[in-house]
């Protein structure tokens, strides 16, 4: 199948224009992670986190989790934007274009990744203001790799749901019953070691668990799993989710 | 080569048959209309031809390419203006056109030239930098038609192009569509449920009802099928002698007398009225009221589908006669 680079670029550019013009949406989507950081980070400031060495404190544990959460939400929102286009008819304009379906998926992924990386970096900046300290420039570089992989994984997931659903009505249910569990199971707020074994088993089926753990490993140097395992899991989940997302998108009808 | 060739096309949704074995061909440069009420299957047909829906059965080719197997080639040859707006409201008019032309792989200089050209054509040049959310319904429609043209399609689909527009804008779009078809030679398929729109614009019209074609021909010939104009005379007195006399006249194709109203079908009814009135008074009848109706595509539609008649006429026998006559006094 041919890749149409101009189409990918123009889809990406549209996403950027929309992102820049929707200032209230940016502020709105950043509010929740900032509140989590502020209230949980300050509230549990003096609490030791079991299983975490290095004296990074709760903010050190929390910040990678909240960055992961921000990426989770803004990436799956890319699915919402497909449904939004469906609702407002613009999807048809995209679907009749003489462009391979894989290019449409890649354009979506490019746009969604860029916006969620911007959101993730803004939260990263906010956590620095709250006293989060990371290990240095190289750590940030590896951190970006994990952030990318988290974005890919959940953009893929968003595309799967968007292709299977007819309108935006169902998306709230998906948020509550799928996206939120992904978040809570990932150990973004609390160490996995405290969960009962049933929940822990579910946590290990959640890609975000490895994403957040990997971010902790590279940014603050402590993690519950070896960083290689985290990286391998994230690469695997990105590939699987993107493939499934593209496959469902290709199969869906445009009208 | 035909611009469009359709053979036994079918689309079903969960057991409901939206399009039921339709076959037709549209010649290059033709302006072809699909006329029918809401839910007749017009939009589904268009969506299959535009590769947005996959046919359940049958075959269709657009510009020589199969809509199921050669989807990209079909997409490259067509433009489509959807029934509901398909614009990005957050982008400006120009940005919407840029998005479109880039998706169709048109180079930068050419892109700019064509966008300026179509914006001028639909008189939106001074609104090009305004976000589309701030456009009126008519402006959005014009922008969409402009967009459908930027990539110079061989075949242009217009799905209810004037739905919900005011009379002036509708007229404007009609003229524009016509010009496009005649001057630029674009093959145009339009769907509509406005009879006068199909009548004014289309070379040929297919009347669609319940997913199938009830008739397909040029608007004048479809109207001829009804046998001409209907002249109704409201009479006072005993009409027996008059009716007898009329029975001998060859140019009266059909007649019906019901509750003092005599309805006659004939060609060029306006020239026959004086003669009829004179004849009636010769036979001692007072003509209280004369009514002449030219057949419209609406009558044709009713003739072939019986749909509105079914809703409005009282009894079944009345209904049948009404259908035969193209009945002149239907409340609209």
B80–A contact, CB cutoff 8 A: yes
> A4 to chain B: which residues are within 8 Å by CB?
105
CA–CA distance, B219 with A57 (Å, rounded to integer): 81
Q: Do B105 and A94 touch (CB under 8 A)?
A: no
Q: Is the pLDDT of residue B325 over 80?
A: no
> Would you call A4 and B105 a contact, using CB atoms and an 8 Å cutoff?
yes
Q: Which residues of B touch A254 (CB under 8 A)?
A: 47, 51-53
For B285, list phi and psi in degrees, rounded to 5: -110, 140
pLDDT-based confidence at residue A145 (cuts at 50, 70, 90): very high
Residue B114 has what pLDDT?
A: 92
What's residue A69's pLDDT?
95
Query: Residue A63: pLDDT above 90?
Result: yes
Q: Which two tokens stand for residue A195?
A: 């969960």
Inter-CA distances, A247 with A101, A105, A209, Å: 9, 9, 25
> What's residue B307's pLDDT?
55
Interface contact flag, B90 A22, Cβ < 8 Å: yes
pLDDT at residue B331 tops 80: no
Residue B5 vs residues B1, B47, B65: alpha-carbon distances, Å: 9, 15, 10
Per-residue pLDDT band for A55 (boundaries 50, 70, 90) equals low
Q: Tell me, yes or no, if B54 comes closer than 8 A to chain A by beta carbon.
A: yes
What was the pLDDT predicted at B239?
83
- Looking at the fold, whether B288 and B163 belong to one and the same domain comes out as no
Mean pLDDT of A29-56: 78
Query: Do B213 and B316 share a domain, yes or no?
Result: no
Domain finish residue from B222, B256, B272: B222
Mind telling me how many Å the CA of B163 is from chain A's nearest CA? 16
B179 and B276 together in one domain: no
CB nearest A96 (choices: B51, B91, B99): B51
> What CA–CA distance (Å, rounded) separates B261 from B259?
5
Residue where one domain finishes, among candidates B184, B202, B222 = B222
The tokens for B284 are: 């001692």
Q: Say whether both B88 and B232 belong to one domain.
A: no
Q: B249 lies in which domain range?
A: 226-325
- Confirm or reject contact between B90 and chain A (CB < 8 A): yes
- pLDDT, mean over chain B: 84
Tell me, yes or no, whether B206 and B294 share the same domain. no
Q: Give the Cα separation of A91 and A98 in Å (integer).
A: 14
In a domain, B331, yes or no: no
Confidence (pLDDT) at B311? 39
Q: Are residues B54 and B84 in the same domain?
A: yes
* Residue entry with tokens 């405290």: A194
pLDDT band at B319 (very low <50, low <70, confident <90, very high): very low
Interfacial B residues in 143-162 facing A (CB < 8 Å): 147
Put simply, the chain B residues between 33 and 52 with a CB less than 8 A from any chain A CB are 47, 50-52
For the entire predicted model, the pTM comes to 0.79
Q: Does residue B240 lie within any of the structural domains?
A: yes
Same domain for B44 and B155, yes or no, is yes
Among B56, B85, B88, B115, the residue to mutate for chain A (most A Cβ within 10 A): B88
Return left, alpha or beta for B286; rule: phi > 0 is left, psi -120 to 50 is alpha, else beta.
beta
pLDDT at A149 exceeding the cut of 50:
yes
- For A96, the closest chain B residue by CA position comes to B75
Q: Are residues B268 and B122 in the same domain?
A: no
Q: E-strand spans in chain A?
A: none
Q: Mutate one of A1, A13, A14 to test the B interface: name it (highest B CB count within 10 A).
A: A14
Q: CA-CA distance, A17 to B92, in Å (whole number)?
A: 10
- The answer to whether residue B236 sits within a structural domain is yes
Sign of CA dihedral A87, A88, A93, A94: negative
Determine, for residues B85 and A10 on separate chains, whether the beta-carbon distance falls below 8 Å: no
Shared domain for B188 and B285, answered yes or no, is: no
B243: domain CATH number is 3.30.70.100
User: Are the beta carbons of A255 and B72 separated by less than 8 Å?
Assistant: no
Contact of A99 with A7, CB cutoff 8 Å: yes
Pick from B190, B222, B254: which residue ends a domain?
B222
Q: Looking at residue B284, what is its pLDDT?
A: 85
Q: For chain B, what is the domain count? A: 2
CA within 13 Å, CB half, B199: 13
Is the pLDDT score of A86 beyond 80? yes
Compute the count of residue pairs across chains A and B with CB atoms less than 8 Å apart: 80
CATH of the domain at B38: 3.40.50.300
Picking from B118, B98, B95, the residue whose alpha carbon sits closest to that of residue B108 is B98
Of A65, A108, A52, nearest in space to A209 by CA: A65
- Tens of pLDDT, residue by residue over A182-201, are 999 998 988 888 889 999 99
C-alpha R_g of chain A: 18
A5: chain B residues, CB-CB within 8 Å: none
Residue-wise pLDDT tens digits, B223-273: 877 778 888 888 888 888 888 888 888 888 878 787 788 888 888 888 888
Residues B164 and B280 in one domain: no
pLDDT beyond 50 at B309: no
Using pLDDT thresholds of 50, 70 and 90, give the confidence band for residue A54: low
Is the domain of B247 the same as that of B144?
A: no
| Residue B272 shares a structural domain with residue B314 | yes
């Amino acid at each position: 199948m041919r890749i149409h680079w101009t189409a990918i670029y123009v889809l990406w550019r549209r996403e950027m224009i929309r992102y820049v013009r929707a200032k209230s949406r940016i502020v709105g989507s950043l509010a929740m992670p900032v509140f989590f950081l502020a209230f949980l980070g300050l509230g549990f400031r003096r609490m030791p986190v079991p299983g975490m060495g290095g004296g990074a404190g709760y903010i050190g544990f929390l910040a990678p989790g909240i960055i992961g959460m921000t990426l989770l939400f803004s990436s799956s929102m890319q699915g919402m934007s497909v449904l939004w286009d469906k609702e407002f008819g613009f999807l048809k304009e995209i679907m009749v274009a003489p462009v391979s379906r894989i290019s449409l998926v890649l354009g979506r992924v490019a746009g969604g990744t860029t916006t969620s990386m911007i959101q993730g970096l803004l939260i990263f900046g906010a956590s620095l203001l709250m006293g989060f300290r990371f290990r240095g420039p190289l750590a940030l570089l590896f951190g970006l790799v994990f952030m990318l992989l988290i974005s890919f994984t959940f953009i893929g997931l968003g595309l799967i749901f968007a292709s299977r659903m007819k309108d935006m009505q169902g998306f709230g249910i998906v948020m509550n019953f799928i996206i939120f569990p992904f978040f809570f199971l990932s150990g973004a707020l609390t160490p996995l070691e405290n969960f009962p074994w049933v929940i822990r088993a579910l946590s290990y089926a959640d890609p975000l668990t490895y994403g957040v753990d990997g971010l902790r490993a590279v940014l603050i140097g402590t993690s519950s799993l070896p960083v290689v395992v985290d990286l391998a899991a994230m690469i695997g989940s990105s590939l699987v989710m993107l493939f499934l997302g593209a496959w469902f998108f290709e199969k869906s009808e445009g009208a | 080569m035909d611009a469009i060739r359709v053979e036994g096309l079918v689309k079903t949704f969960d057991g409901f048959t939206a399009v039921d074995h339709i076959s037709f061909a549209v010649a290059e440069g033709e302006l072809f209309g699909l006329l029918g009420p809401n839910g007749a299957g017009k939009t589904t047909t268009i969506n299959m031809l535009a590769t947005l829906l996959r046919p359940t059965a049958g075959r269709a080719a657009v510009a020589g390419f199969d809509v199921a197997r050669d989807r990209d080639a079909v997409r490259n040859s067509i433009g489509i203006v959807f029934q509901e707006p398909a614009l990005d409201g957050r982008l400006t008019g120009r940005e919407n056109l840029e998005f479109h032309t880039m998706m169709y792989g048109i180079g930068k200089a050419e892109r700019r030239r064509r966008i300026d050209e179509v914006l001028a054509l639909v008189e939106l040049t001074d609104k090009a930098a305004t976000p589309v959310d701030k456009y009126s319904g008519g402006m959005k429609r014009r922008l969409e038609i402009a967009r459908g043209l930027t990539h110079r399609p061989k075949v242009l689909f217009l799905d209810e192009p004037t739905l919900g527009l005011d009379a002036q804008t509708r007229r404007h779009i009609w003229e524009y569509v016509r010009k496009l078809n005649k001057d630029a030679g674009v093959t145009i398929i339009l769907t509509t449920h406005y009879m006068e729109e199909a009548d004014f614009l289309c070379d040929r019209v297919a009347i669609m009802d319940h997913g199938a074609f009830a008739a397909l021909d040029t608007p004048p010939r479809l109207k001829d099928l009804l046998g001409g104009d209907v002249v109704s005379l409201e009479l006072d007195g005993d009409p027996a002698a008059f009716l007898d006399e009329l029975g001998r006249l060859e140019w009266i194709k059909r007649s019906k007398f019901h509750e003092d109203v005599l309805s006659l079908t004939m060609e060029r009814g306006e020239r026959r009225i004086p003669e009829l009135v004179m004849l009636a008074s010769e036979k001692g009848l007072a003509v209280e009221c004369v009514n002449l109706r030219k057949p419209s595509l609406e009558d044709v539609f009713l003739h072939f589908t019986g749909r509105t008649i079914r809703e409005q006429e009282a009894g079944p026998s009345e209904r049948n006669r009404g259908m035969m006559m193209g009945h002149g006094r239907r409340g609209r």
